[in-house]
Amino acid sequence: MEKLTYEKPYIKKLHAGVMNKFGTRTGIQPVKQIDGVSVKSLIENYGSPVFVLSEKKIRKNYRSAYRAFSTRYPKVQFAWSYKTNYLNAVCQIFHQEGSWAEVVSGFEYHKALRNGIPGNKIIFNGPGKSNDDLQAAIDNDSLIHIDHFEELNQLLVLSKKLATKPRVAIRVNMDTGVYPSWDRFGFNYENNEAWTAIEKTINSNKLQLVGLHCHIGTYMLSAGAYEIAANKLCDLAMRCKAQLHHKIEYIDMGGGFPSTNTLKGAYLPGSDTVPTVDDFAEVITSTILNFGFAQDDLPLLILESGRVLIDDAGYLLGTVVANKRLSNGKRATIVDFGVNILFTSFWYEHQISPAQDFNSHNENMIIYGPLCMNIDVIRESINLPLLDPGDQVVVHQVGAYNMTQWMQFITLRPAVVLIDKQQHTHVIRTGETLHYTEEPEIIPGHLKPDK
């Protein structure tokens, strides 16, 4: 039998209230492989830390979400939210599955074009489109979602001399019973700004109003909020038909369905509390179907889901650097990945699993990253077996928003590896190098180091 590592005994103050109603059991299991590829070999081949994505899981998530909507409603289209994860390999998986692209900046827009997406399958959201962005979207016949009156006026100027009308949608914000309401994007429903924008767009005769859009929030825990939102968009679409004799071709319900990650401070794990995609599909589709549209006028239903389609397909593998005792006796474990590459650790209590066998002694500990910054805390409190330097860990559900919001800060950003359905591994983004980070820098002559 392998000799166990000696752990120094210590005296620890007991803090009342650490147990929840299920006691202290953690049910931790070692996670030694991802899609049949061993964690050890992934770290050996691609370094530590390293992000790993499962192509199988991404496709499975997409197909089950698409099925949830398309079995309930005749016309459904998903558009991949680029900002959730715009690594090109990831976008291509969604595009191969049939997703359009949903982008929110000129940078993302051109990424989608370079990914081979035809302009008319790109939805352009966001409050900060430049004249050049709008011109490119007009030239490529993209779907421009108007956020504010400035943008509407900009579009009217750009379309003055055009023979064909650019295709646009009005982004609508509204009270959905979830507070604080997201009212900073688009035009408000309750104060009638949305209707004013619709009238102005149609009456301009310069733009073709094809859709109505909303994105009511993110990590939404209430399916009922989508029922309210769908009702309000349907109401606007019906009024367009009745009062302005104008047919709305699509209703875009945005994204916002939660992954099963656990929010910080939540009493129960996300897997026990979040509604399923089926729950959301049921309320959204039944609201539209029952609203009273004539069969020919049923709008296309667009969804821009991000996190729910990719979060659980992403893992971050890392290695324990050291352990220490804090002044209050709490165990602290330092790992080799920081909050700069795991942005979502500010919102989520990410599940962390040891990647090797462990003994039965668990302890409540704090997990720090390697940054020399006080904010670099991956988990403030987690029950884990005692980990030794060199032990490997797997952080779960990190596929959404980390590989776009990560920051090169103190350390370099690591490689991202995709495991395909045949269990082959592919580097889809190489780990950064010093050369890569210094490439855009210019040192003025008088500051150049002496040769």
User: Collapsing DSSP states into helix, strand and coil, what is residue 33?
Assistant: strand
Told to check if 349 binds ligand PLP by CB under 6 A, we report no
87 CB neighbour count, 10 Å cutoff: 18
Told to check if 55 binds ligand PLP by CB under 6 A, we report no
Residue 53: in which H helix or E strand, if any? strand 50-54
In terms of phi and psi (left: phi > 0; alpha: psi -120 to 50; beta: otherwise), the region of 320 is beta
Gap between the Cα atoms of 74 and 15, Å rounded: 56
Gap between the Cα atoms of 63 and 76, Å rounded: 12
Amino acid at site 295: Q
Asked if the peptide bond before residue 74 counts as cis, ω within 30 degrees of 0, the response is: no
Q: Which residue has the tokens 């409603």?
A: 73
Told to check if 215 binds ligand PLP by CB under 6 A, we report yes
Q: Which of 302, 327, 412 is nearest to 75 (CA)?
A: 302
Told to check if 57 binds ligand PLP by CB under 6 A, we report no
Amino acid at site 243: Q
Q: Which one of 172-180, 271-279, 306-314, 348-356 is the stretch in contact with ligand PLP (CB under 6 A)?
A: 306-314
Which one among 135, 181, 218, 405 touches ligand PLP, defined by CB under 6 A? 218
Told to check if 211 binds ligand PLP by CB under 6 A, we report no
Told to check if 354 binds ligand PLP by CB under 6 A, we report no
Told to check if 246 binds ligand PLP by CB under 6 A, we report no
In terms of phi and psi (left: phi > 0; alpha: psi -120 to 50; beta: otherwise), the region of 314 is beta
Told to check if 99 binds ligand PLP by CB under 6 A, we report no
Told to check if 81 binds ligand PLP by CB under 6 A, we report yes
In terms of phi and psi (left: phi > 0; alpha: psi -120 to 50; beta: otherwise), the region of 332 is beta
Output the smallest distance, CB 133 to ligand PLP, in A.
15
Q: What residue spans of 374-442 are helical by DSSP H?
A: 402-405, 434-438
Told to check if 312 binds ligand PLP by CB under 6 A, we report no
Told to check if 49 binds ligand PLP by CB under 6 A, we report no
Nearer to ligand PLP by C-beta: 80 or 195? 80
Nearer to ligand PLP by C-beta: 94 or 257? 257
Which one among 255, 299, 338, 385 touches ligand PLP, defined by CB under 6 A? 255
Which one among 48, 54, 84, 262 touches ligand PLP, defined by CB under 6 A? 84
Q: Which one of 27-35, 253-261, 329-337, 386-394 is the stretch in contact with ligand PLP (CB under 6 A)?
A: 253-261
| Cβ-contact 335, 8 below 8 angstroms | no
Rg of the chain over all Cα atoms, to the nearest angstrom: 25
Q: Which of 57, 76, 58 is nearest to 67 (CA)?
A: 76
Output the smallest distance, CB 135 to ligand PLP, in A.
21
| Residue 141 DSSP code | T
Nearer to ligand PLP by C-beta: 299 or 306? 306
Told to check if 254 binds ligand PLP by CB under 6 A, we report yes
Output the smallest distance, CB 145 to ligand PLP, in A.
8
Residues in contact with ligand PLP, counted by CB under 6 A, come to a total of 16
Please report, for residues 215, 380, 429, 430, 435, the alpha-carbon distance to residue 181 in angstroms, rounded to integers and kept in the order given.
Answer: 11, 29, 37, 39, 44
Which one among 119, 166, 306, 385 touches ligand PLP, defined by CB under 6 A? 306
Output the smallest distance, CB 125 to ligand PLP, in A.
4
Q: Which one of 129-137, 230-238, 302-310, 352-360 is the stretch in contact with ligand PLP (CB under 6 A)?
A: 302-310
Told to check if 167 binds ligand PLP by CB under 6 A, we report no
Which one among 129, 307, 331, 413 touches ligand PLP, defined by CB under 6 A? 307
Output the smallest distance, CB 218 to ligand PLP, in A.
4
Told to check if 336 binds ligand PLP by CB under 6 A, we report no
Told to check if 102 binds ligand PLP by CB under 6 A, we report yes
Q: Which of 132, 104, 138 is nearest to 120 (CA)?
A: 138
Which one among 55, 133, 227, 304 touches ligand PLP, defined by CB under 6 A? 304
Residue 102: in which H helix or E strand, if any? strand 100-103
Gap between the Cα atoms of 197 and 148, Å rounded: 8
Footprint of ligand PLP on this chain (CB under 6 A)? 81, 84, 102, 125, 215, 218, 254-257, 304-308, 400
